[in-house]
Structure 1
Amino acid sequence: MFQKNIKNQWFWVMVVVAICAILSIVIFLGGRTQSVPNKQDGEVEQHGTEHGAGTEEEYAEGNQKLTLNAKQMLEFGIKLASVERGEVQHSSAYPAKLITNIDQQAHVMSAFAGRVDSVHVLLGQQVKKGQVLATVFIPELVDQQANLSIAQEALNLAHQDYQREKQLFDQGVSARQDYQKAYNTYRQAQIQVQAARSRLSALGASTGSQGRYTLKAPLNGVVSQKDIVVGEYITSDKQLFVIDQLDQLWLEFVLPSDDSVTVKPNQEIRFKSLQTQHIFKAKIQTLSAVADMQTGRLQVRAHVLTPAQELRPNLMVNVLLAGKPAQSVLRVNKSAIQQIDGKSVVFVAKNENTQVHFNPIPVELGQYSSDGQWAEIKSGLTAGQQYVSQGSFLLKSEMEKGEAEHGH
């Protein structure tokens, strides 16, 4: 009886063990089935579990890749280009200064000595050609205007005498000699009036200003210098205003003494504002014929082609001069470069039927072109490979989003 009970116990133990084994197999297979996600167009696919592999291919396989169709690429604004060979021109920066174009500058002075009655403009004010800048009372001008009045009155009297003698001569009453004398006096009075008017006109004064002389702007521009106040007595040799046309500035700099860069007349160059980092254009106008005695360098002057509100005389800038012609290297658009896991990568495109796979390939970068368009590729890519030239940042964002979702 005791042996029979022992056999029954072993039987039930074996049954329990068998049931546990079956349940373990079912649970294992079920968990493996759930771990395989369904793949759809445009979803992030996970390849591998280890990052930071030794080769570029292993790195690409160890990271996520994106698969998009043509419609999705259009929605994302993805554009492709081919890795090509070309120049990555690099420029060097040299100090320069903006100066006033003296060919477009006006110095305003008074033609007379006198007292300042009023000033109508402020320093830095924009003025138009012919606009009144100031009014000056000129004692000498009073005399000139008085002389004109006297000459005009003499002309009127001479004209009356001439008309009377002409009438008498026509009637045969007056002698020709009297008529001729009246005519000569009349003509002399006309000449006197014309001369007085010419003197006032040459001095820029009007006939009825009562000794007031107005200073007017000779051209459109900005009042860059002003040395005049109400009530002061000015002389004819004092400079009262300087008007500059700030939309026609010059760029002045010293050419480096080495032969790393070369410039020539009419060459278009670029310069950068130190305050805003904005890039502007200028054209070489003149190169000094003789080198500076102390530095042995040539002074260069260029005409600013892209005027802006921020550009002012005496502003320090950096002129960007291209060096010697660069050698042909592998290059991609700078916008294609992204940073993933601390590495510079370029998304390489691979077509497969109606879909395009995008893999982030790590690259070694060289120089960037001075215009910010190109980046030199020292290693990681080959000529002719298709890469994402526009929209790579969106691909990076989608990849990071996929990693975050996978992490949860």
Structure 2
Amino acid sequence: MRRRILLLILCLLAAGGSWLWWIMPPAVAIAMATTGPALRAVYATGSVEPVHWARVGPAVRARVTDVMVQEGQRVAEGEPLARLDDREARHRVEEAEARARFAEDELARTRTLVTRDIASRSALDRAEAEARAVGASAEAARRRLDDYIVRAPSAGVVLRRDVEVGEVVDTPASLFWIGELRPLRITAEVDEEDIAQVSEGQPVLLRADAFTGQVLTATVGQITPKGDATRKAYRVRLTLPDDTPLMIGMTVEANIVLRRTDDAVLVPPAAVRDGRVFVVRRETVEHRPVEVGVQGPRAVEILRGLARGEAVVLNPPATLADGQTVRLRP
């Protein structure tokens, strides 16, 4: 009998505990909707370069015999930057000039023979044609000597020098970078999925590893009309202000601002589920649809459906329903 009574008591206690668990409101965590800046932007990466600059390379393959400028030096248009070994080219010039002199001598003799009716007019025509051809060849050989001097294509500063005396250089090589230190720009790549949202004049926020914690600015200056089908990206030029601390060659991360709201309503991402939030009013919750704007890792912008100061449930349980009573989680 005692055993039956004890078993009955245990069953009643278990049933009562289950009933209490069933009727007890679920415990939830809440957060307050706040206001702050919300930024919708297109992400891009790029590097800093001068607006006016050029890579300078050799016109022929040869060994470098002299480098005449240093980095940071200002040069004029056409000024020699480096000399290449032109000994073989000079020998070709001497040979071509010798042939030209011989052709001229032959032409003079043929003219004398024609005046004495010893040679025909056709022989004179051939001699004149030969003299012109050989002379043109000699002139071309003389002009090719200038290919052995690497010259500045425009006035500017030697931004970089990548050549030393004794190196053998070829036409694909870039020996010097010539340009102006200001103004500067950023050449960035924007994914083809985002390029339709980008337009000239949009503000840009920049981040560079050299300036940690500092937000720099730029402006969209130009969009290349033709994209790169392989990289699936478009080239965008970002104009930098004259006082920018960025230096030539630095890499940056760019956020091209599409929309900025300084007093947007913000909630944690955990509060939004399927375009809806649960708003806590006293001890019950209200299931409310909202329009979501910018979504970030720390906050979500609410465009419509929620006001600042309202409390929302974080990570709402799947069983939570509209009008249900809740209790705050300790």
Of all paired residues, the percent bearing the same amino acid is 14
Q: For residues 253-332 of structure 1, what are the structure 2 equivalents within 5 Å?
A: 263-266=197-200, 268-272=202-206, 275=211, 279-286=217-224, 299=233, 301-306=235-240, 308=242, 310-317=245-252, 319-324=254-259, 326=261
1:254/1:303 CA distance change after superposition, 3 Å: closer
| DSSP-derived class of the 1:105 partner | strand
1:305/1:164 CA distance change after superposition, 3 Å: same
Correspondence 1:193 to 2:135: yes
Q: What are the Cα deviations for residues 72-122 of structure 1, in whole angstroms up to 9, with x where unaligned?
A: xxxxxxxxxxxxxxxx986468674324489963240241423x3321111
State the shift of 1:130 in Å. 1.4
- Pick the aligned partner of 1:239 from 173, 192, 195: 173
- Pick the aligned partner of 1:214 from 149, 152, 155: 149
In the other structure, the counterpart of 2:117 is 174
Are the equivalent residues in 1 in contact too, given 2:186–2:240 (CA < 8 A)? no
Code of the aligned partner of 2:219:
K
Aligned mates of 2:60, 2:51 — CA distance in 1: 22
State the shift of 1:303 in Å. 1.4
Q: For residues 4-403 of structure 1, what are the structure 2 equivalents within 5 Å?
A: 91=39, 96-100=45-49, 105-114=54-63, 116-166=64-114, 169=115, 173-175=116-118, 177=120, 179-201=121-143, 203=144, 205-206=145-146, 213-230=148-165, 232-237=166-171, 239-243=173-177, 245=179, 247=183, 249-252=185-188, 263-266=197-200, 268-272=202-206, 275=211, 279-286=217-224, 299=233, 301-306=235-240, 308=242, 310-317=245-252, 319-324=254-259, 326=261
1:236/1:197 CA distance change after superposition, 3 Å: farther
Code of the aligned partner of 1:227:
D
| DSSP-derived class of the 2:65 partner | strand
Are the equivalent residues in 1 in contact too, given 2:67–2:83 (CA < 8 A)? yes
State the shift of 1:199 in Å. 4.1
| DSSP-derived class of the 1:109 partner | coil
State the shift of 1:321 in Å. 3.2
Q: Answer 1 or 2: which has greater helix percent.
A: 1
Gaps of at least 5 residues in structure 1 are 1-87, 207-211, 293-297, 330-377, 380-408
In the other structure, the counterpart of 1:48 is none
* Length-normalised TM-score, structure 2: 0.51
1:239/1:327 CA distance change after superposition, 3 Å: closer
Aligned mates of 2:230, 2:96 — CA distance in 1: 57
Code of the aligned partner of 2:198:
K
Task: Give aligned pairs, total.
Answer: 222
Are the equivalent residues in 2 in contact too, given 1:272–1:278 (CA < 8 A)? yes
| DSSP-derived class of the 1:239 partner | coil
Larger relative contact order (Cα-Cα within 8 Å, sequence gap ≥ 6): 2
State the shift of 1:188 in Å. 0.1
* Length-normalised TM-score, structure 1: 0.43
State the shift of 1:290 in Å. 6.6
Q: What are the Cα deviations for residues 359-399 of structure 1, in whole angstroms up to 9, with x where unaligned?
A: xxxxxxxxxxxxxxxxxxx99xxxxxxxxxxxxxxxxxxxx
1:271/1:135 CA distance change after superposition, 3 Å: same
Are the equivalent residues in 2 in contact too, given 1:112–1:138 (CA < 8 A)? no
Code of the aligned partner of 1:229:
E
| DSSP-derived class of the 2:187 partner | strand
Code of the aligned partner of 1:144:
R
Larger radius of gyration: 1
1:191/1:109 CA distance change after superposition, 3 Å: same
Aligned mates of 2:136, 2:37 — CA distance in 1: 69
Gaps of at least 5 residues in structure 2 are 1-35, 265-306, 309-330
